Amino acid sequence: MVNTRVTLCGITLDNPVIPASGTFGFGYEFAELYDINLLGTFSFKGTTRENRFGNPTPRIAECTAGMINAVGLQNPGVEKVVSEELPKLGKVFHKPVMANVSGFSVEDYACTCAILDREEQVGWLEVNVSCPNVHGGGMSFGTDPEAAASVTRAVKAVTKKPVIIKLSPNVTDIVSIAKACEEAGADGISLINTLLGMRIDLKTGRPIIANTMGGFSGPAIFPVALRMVYQVSKAVNIPVVGMGGVSSAEDVVEMMMAGACAVEVGAANLIDPYASLRIVKALPETMEKYGISDLNDIIGKAH
Active site positions, annotated: 131
CA–CA gap between residue 301 and residue 291 (Å, rounded): 14
Helix axes 222-235, 249-258, angle to 10 degrees: 30
CA–CA gap between residue 24 and residue 65 (Å, rounded): 20
| 49-60 CB burial, b ≥16 within 10 A, e <16 | beebeebeeebe
- CB-based contacts of 255: which residues, under 8 Å, 6+ apart? 225, 226, 229, 242, 243, 246, 263
DSSP character string of 250-262 = HHHHHHHHHT-SE
**β-sheet bridge partners, residue 163:** 125
CB 36 within 8 A of CB 27: yes
CA–CA gap between residue 193 and residue 98 (Å, rounded): 16
CB 222 within 8 A of CB 246: yes
How far, in whole angstroms, is CA 2 from its chain's centroid?
26
CA–CA gap between residue 13 and residue 10 (Å, rounded): 10
